[in-house]
Amino acid sequence: MEWNRGIFPITYKAEIKMKEENDIWDALKDFKYYPIAMILVLLGMFGLILWNQKVSEDITKEAEAKDKLEYAKAGKLLVDASCNKDKNFRQLLVKENIGQQYAYANFDAIYDAAKAINTKKCSLLTRPIALAGVSGSDGFGSSVVSSVPDGWEATSKEGVYSKWCNRGECDTSGAMEGQRYSILLIWCKENACGDIYARANLLNASGVVIGYTNDTAYGNLGDKVQLTLASYSNFSEMRLTELNLR
């Protein structure tokens, strides 16, 4: 009897607890308002899901509104740099405390914002031109820009540089007789250029785009490649709008 005295109360209490739980469950199943109670529980859960979804949507809308303001701010700078040759988009970004890497990653949205406020109808700079040399991040939010040789400009590809040829500096055989042209020289100094595509808008004396011209080429590491941008049109200015290297 001494051996069972310490065990029996535990076993007995466990049996009583299980019986009480079963009695409660049976009572709930037999309760005539059980279906209504379950519907109310489900409605409460559904309401909670809708509330969480509404909160999430509000947060998303707030973030999108903030992004649009940033895009519009950067877009205004892009228009300013596109309409004024003496202004540089990257320098304007620095002045307004907008990260160059941020502008590079979100350039499509910034470009769309710029188009919406481009009342002067200026030819907007594309990403390779506006952010030439911005190709990565140093891990601290700063842009990584190559050391550009004197007289050259950085391109969208690290270690590749460009410049406009001066008269007598480059081969002019790529232009046809009667054409007006400019020659863009690409230096694949530290990296292979690969396929190169250049496009330039043609503007009249009022600054209105009246056409465009383009050219393609290919460059290996160390090559200096010429692209002849020529046209028979009577234009006053040629402005490079696209330079892709793949």
* DSSP type of residue 125: P
Please report whether residue 22 resides in a domain.
no
CB 188 within 8 A of CB 219: yes
Predicted pLDDT of residue 143: 40
Predicted pLDDT of residue 107: 87
Compare 23 and 232 and report the one with higher pLDDT: 232
Residue 157 has pLDDT above 90, yes or no: no
Mark whether 174 and 111 lie in a shared domain: no
Picking from 145, 125, 148, the residue whose alpha carbon sits closest to that of residue 135 is 145
The pLDDT mean for the chain works out to: 78
Q: What is the pLDDT of residues 56-115, one digit of tens each?
A: 676 667 777 788 888 899 999 999 988 887 788 888 887 887 877 778 888 888 989 998
Please report whether residue 242 resides in a domain.
yes
Residue 198 has pLDDT above 70, yes or no: yes
CB 73 within 8 A of CB 114: no
Number of domains in the chain: 2
Compare 60 and 217 and report the one with higher pLDDT: 217
Write the burial class of residue 40 (CB in 10 Å: 0-12 exposed, 13-18 middle, 19+ buried). exposed
Domain residues for the domain of 118 are 31-122+134-144
Mark whether 159 and 232 lie in a shared domain: yes
